[in-house]
Amino acid sequence: MTFDLKDVFRQDIKNLLAYNFQPFRDGLIKLDANENPFAFPFALQEKIYQQLRADSFTRYPDDLAGELREKISRHTGVSIEGIMVGNGSDELILNLCLAVGSGAQVVIATPTFSMYRINSQIAGAVPVEVPRRQPGFTLDHKALVRAAGDKKTKLIFLCSPNNPTGNAIPREEIAAILEESRALVVVDEAYIDFGGQTCLPLLKKYPHLVILRTFSKAFGLAGLRVGYLLGAPEVVGELYRVKQPFNLNTFSQVAACVALAHQGEFAKMIEAIVRDRDKLSQELASLPGVTVFPSEANFILFRTRLPAGMVFQRLLQEGVLIRNLHGPHLEECLRVTVGREEENRFFMEKMKKILVDEGEG
């Protein structure tokens, strides 16, 4: 018999593109992934190592991450029964899509984080895109409510502050959507430490609200993949049905607990990132032909009169890696993560050089 891929793999995802991430190489200034640019504090690394036991490596981790969920409960004010942790927010997004089932509609306010669409398709759900208004990328409230009103709609994904546009959604606007929707409304607050209004005060009133958070950004644990989800206990209970066992390893659980116990260390980093973000935004906006979009996150979306692909490649040649976002709704747009002061300065020097070389300076 002849082996045929079509006989084995799902044809409904044959056109699905994997998450596109630029490989990193030594010597580059890495400003492409919205990571915390500061080194994780050495003293906290030592505390993590001290809390590991000999059996931390030979035994399975706590499946329910009880200690971490208790600390998250104290941090957020949400009961432990309303908390679920995951291998990054990505796993939790996939769990949400799996839980609503194949064929369900998932409404996504685009442009936004690509994993909402990708995980919807992996789960066999149907992504329904509702474009944001141009030029400020605000929500199209009426269109969202229309899409939410469809009986097939089970999930609505909203990111605030939004990746990659940087703008936040006013809390009252999210409350208005909750009032008019019977679907789960998921608000991804991955960047909430840098700006915007948290939806935590809305949780008690709206049982169909789910909030996503991560340790990857402000807490600098991107390499350890720790995310968490907040919601009504009955909603979280349903999501546990699709959770993989032992999904968050022991090392990551311990590291997240230590990070939460020393929030002051990260508050200083957040303050510096926000200050440098505002400074970098002003400097970018002063360049000829550059349009900068307001940001409440740890990155900046901008556009030049030059092709985004060319600017991206020129910066790469000069030793700076940023994100090329050129595509629908983001024509000729690029995104730069706020780095350390010297990294931001180097990026600006290279941007100015490219603009001068191309006759824009």
Q: Are residues 116 and 32 in the same domain?
A: no
Coil, strand, or helix at residue 157? strand
- Give the confidence band of 144 by pLDDT, cuts at 50, 70, 90: very high
Do residues 171 and 202 both lie within one domain?
yes
Q: What is the pLDDT of residue 23?
A: 61
Residues 127 and 256 in one domain: yes
* 169-208 pLDDT tens trace: 999 999 999 999 999 999 999 999 999 999 999 999 999 9
DSSP codes of every residue in 61-108: --TT-HHHHHHHHHHH---GGGEEEESHHHHHHHHHHHHH-TT-EEEE
Residues 150 and 293 in one domain: no
* pLDDT at residue 102, as a whole number: 87
Same domain, 105 and 122: yes
- In the chain, how many domains are there? 2
Distance, in Å, from the CA atom of 250 to the CA atom of 60, rounded to the nearest integer, reads 8
Question: What's the pTM?
Answer: 0.95
- Best CA proximity match to 36, nearest among 258, 297, 241, 228: 297
Residue 163 inside a domain? The answer is yes
Helix axes 115-122, 88-100, angle to 10 degrees: 40
Is 96 a domain residue?
yes
Range of the domain at 173: 59-261
Residue 80 and residue 220 share a domain: yes
Whether residue 278 is predicted with pLDDT greater than 90 in this model: the reply is yes
Instruction: Give domain status of residue 53, yes or no.
Output: no
The per-residue pLDDT for 20 is 64
pLDDT digits (tens, 9 = 90+) for 228-259: 999 999 999 999 999 999 999 999 999 999 99
Residue 27, token pair as written in the block = 């010597």
| Domain co-membership, 114 together with 222 | yes
Residue 353 exposed, middle or buried by CB count within 10 Å (0-12, 13-18, 19+): middle
**Which amino acid is residue 18, in one-letter code?**
A
- Residues sharing a CB contact under 8 Å with residue 259, sequence separation 6 or more, in sequence order: 44, 215, 219, 220, 221, 266
Domain final position from 261, 294, 323: 261
Average pLDDT, the chain: 94
- Say whether both 216 and 285 belong to one domain: no
User: Looking at the predicted structure, is the pLDDT value of residue 17 above 80?
Assistant: no
**CA distance linking residue 144 with residue 169, whole number of Å:** 13
- In a shared domain, residues 257 and 230: yes
Q: Are residues 274 and 231 in the same domain?
A: no
Say how far apart CA 291 and CA 91 lie, in whole Å. 34
